[in-house]
Amino acid sequence: MSETILNVEGLTVDIPLGSGTLHAVRGIDFALKRGETLCIVGESGSGKSLTSLAVMGLLGKRIQVGAAKLEFEGRDLRSLTPRQMQALRGDRMAMIFQEPMTSLNPAYTIGDQLCEALQLHRRVSKAEAMAQAADLLGKVGITAAESRLQQYPHQLSGGLRQRVMIAMALMCEPDLIIADEPTTALDVTIQAQILRLLADLKREMNLALILVTHDLGVVARIADKVAVMYAGEIVESGTAKAIFDAPSHPYTRGLLDCIPVPGKTKPGEPLGSIPGIVPSLVGDVAGCAFRSRCALANDACSETIPKRTASGEHMYRCVHETLISEVA
């Protein structure tokens, strides 16, 4: 149960642009054990999707990925050849994407695409692969699986397609699934179903799950651990309970203020919002990237920001040590 699946230290993603280098992910650390769900939270452009693509090795050649440590099941991903990485992808680690409507190939049947995921990694016959595909479609809650296998993506609704994507990720029984905003493009009612499905599957198959999202409501329902990303850094991380009970970084507090709480938020009362926009990450970024939007900002925020421990695993990056007591 306590086996570490993924261990990331000092992960950076740099995108060369004409006008300089965009430091999209700036040295982040996280680790994940079997059976755990890590939610990476942040707004658009915080680097959360790039982080997941970097772990999968799916970023283009133009984009530079660096890390002090990038270990998956004890293997150093940095030392693997592209072919070895390809063998891991879809087999030991799988990914689910944000857009179910466009993430399936329109030219092939659901069955063909599910089978391909298995046959790329295992020597199995088409019939065996089809049987496995039908079995998994049933598991992700698709009825009449046999006839669905013969259908094409355009004949399925968005919710069904996302279930197919999940089934495809499960074909090789991976140890790690990375889901990048899997419910963003879906109706609210379908969102809840898909989340419950992911949580159930994770428990049943005892796998590690990374869920990338901007929706704290999702996080509250499913996360064991949370990492809050802002401008390419993890500004706060810890167990879901710690983050929700004692948010220590001003940005996390801002995020939490943005969602209504039943019984606490009064009708007509405006929800919180964070003024300003995410700063540009082109060139060198010094100090706290959030300081331009932070109510607590002072001169110290331009200096090097210490990594503080609130309690146990609960870490945050802020110069303001007294924040927790202020809240309480």
Partner 1 sequence: MLAFALKRLGLAVLVTFTVSVISFSLLHLSGDPAAAIAGENATAADIAAINRQFGFDRPLTVQYTDWLWKALHGDFGESYYFKMPVADLISDRLSITMLLGVCSISFALLTAVPLGVAAAVRPNSLIDRTALFLSVAGQAMPSFWFGLIMIVVFSIKFRLLPPSGSETWRHFIMPTVVLGYYAMPAIMRLTRAGMLEVLNADYIRTARAKGAGAGRVLFKHALRNAIVPVVSLSAVQMGFMLGGSIVVEAIFALHGAGYLAWESISRHDLPTVQALILIFSCFYILFTLLSDLANAWLDPRIRVG
Work out the burial of residue 169: count CB atoms within 10 Å of its CB; fewer than 13 is exposed, 13-18 middle, 19 or more buried. buried
Residue 86 makes contact with partner 1 by CB under 8 A? yes
Interface with partner 1 (CB under 8 A), residue from 73, 152, 214, 324: 152
Pick the piece of the chain touching partner 1 (CB under 8 A) from 113-121, 238-246, 279-287, 308-316: 113-121
Interface with partner 1 (CB under 8 A), residue from 123, 154, 264, 266: 154
Question: From CA 231, how far away is CA 283, in angstroms rounded?
Answer: 13
Tokens representing 104 are 């399936």
Interface with partner 1 (CB under 8 A), residue from 24, 50, 142, 168: 168
Contact 232, 24 (CB under 8 A): yes
Residue 99 makes contact with partner 1 by CB under 8 A? yes
Burial track 292-323 (b if 16+ CB lie within 10 A, e otherwise):
ebbebbeeebeeebeebebeeebbbbbbbeeb
DSSP for 53-117 reads HHHHT-S-TTSEEE-SEEEETTEEGGG--HHHHHHHBTTTEEEE-S-TTTSS-TTS-HHHHHHHH
Interface with partner 1 (CB under 8 A), residue from 72, 97, 251, 316: 97
Residue 323 makes contact with partner 1 by CB under 8 A? no
For partner 1 (CB under 8 A), the number of binding residues is: 29
CB-wise, 198 or 228, nearer to partner 1? 198
Token match 């003024």: residue?
A: 275
Contact 207, 166 (CB under 8 A): no
Helices (H), the chain: 48-56, 82-88, 110-119, 126-139, 145-149, 158-170, 188-205, 216-222, 240-245, 250-257, 323-327
Contacts of 163 (CB under 8 A, 6+ apart): 137, 140, 141, 142, 194, 197
Interface with partner 1 (CB under 8 A), residue from 25, 95, 134, 222: 95
Interface with partner 1 (CB under 8 A), residue from 15, 38, 117, 198: 117
Please state the closest distance from residue 199 (CB atom) to partner 1, in A.
21
CB-wise, 103 or 193, nearer to partner 1? 103
Beta bridge partners of 17: 20
CB-wise, 107 or 261, nearer to partner 1? 107
Please state the closest distance from residue 61 (CB atom) to partner 1, in A.
11
CB-wise, 154 or 264, nearer to partner 1? 154
Interface with partner 1 (CB under 8 A), residue from 120, 256, 296, 324: 120
Pick the piece of the chain touching partner 1 (CB under 8 A) from 65-73, 98-106, 127-135, 228-236: 98-106
Interface with partner 1 (CB under 8 A), residue from 18, 106, 275, 276: 106
Residue 251 makes contact with partner 1 by CB under 8 A? no
Chain positions contacting partner 1, by CB under 8 A: 56, 58, 83, 86-91, 94-95, 97, 99, 102-107, 109, 116-117, 120-121, 152, 154-155, 165, 168
